[in-house]
Amino acid sequence: MTQPRLTPREYDVLVGLSEGLTNERISRKLLISPDTAKMHIQRLYRALGARDRAHAVSLGYQFGVLVVESCVCPRPLGGVA
């Protein structure tokens, strides 16, 4: 897959989507209006070929635009200490 070209702002919006943020929260985080956030989301969908927010995030990972950060669990899974 060829990695899509995203603007820095589209990347910031994609990160917000991956964090589960609403348009309102994305706009506050990026210091832009909600309408501007919505416009960036629509452009991001076109750039990625995405249908919706979840699809955009999934494609972001598939294209390597987003990366999974490793996580250290405070205790073993299953609740056994």
Q: Which residues of 39-48 are buried (b: 16+ CB within 10 A; e: fewer)?
A: ebbeebbebb
The mean pLDDT value for 5-28 works out to: 96
Of the candidate ranges 2-6, 38-42, 56-60, 71-75, the one whose mean pLDDT is the lowest: 71-75
Question: Tokens 């210091």 appear where?
Answer: 31
The fraction of the chain above a pLDDT of 90, given in percent, is 75
The Cα 22–Cα 29 span in angstroms is: 10
The answer to whether residue 79 scores a pLDDT higher than 90 is no
Who contacts 8 (Cβ-Cβ below 8 Å, separation ≥6)?
Answer: none
Structure tokens at 66: 């987003």
Does pTM surpass 0.75?
yes
Check: CB of residue 57 under 8 Å from CB of residue 21.
Answer: no
Both tokens of 80, joined, read 């056994």
**Going by CATH, does the domain composed of 1-81 fall within 3.40.50.1970?**
no
Tell me the domain boundaries of the chain.
1-81
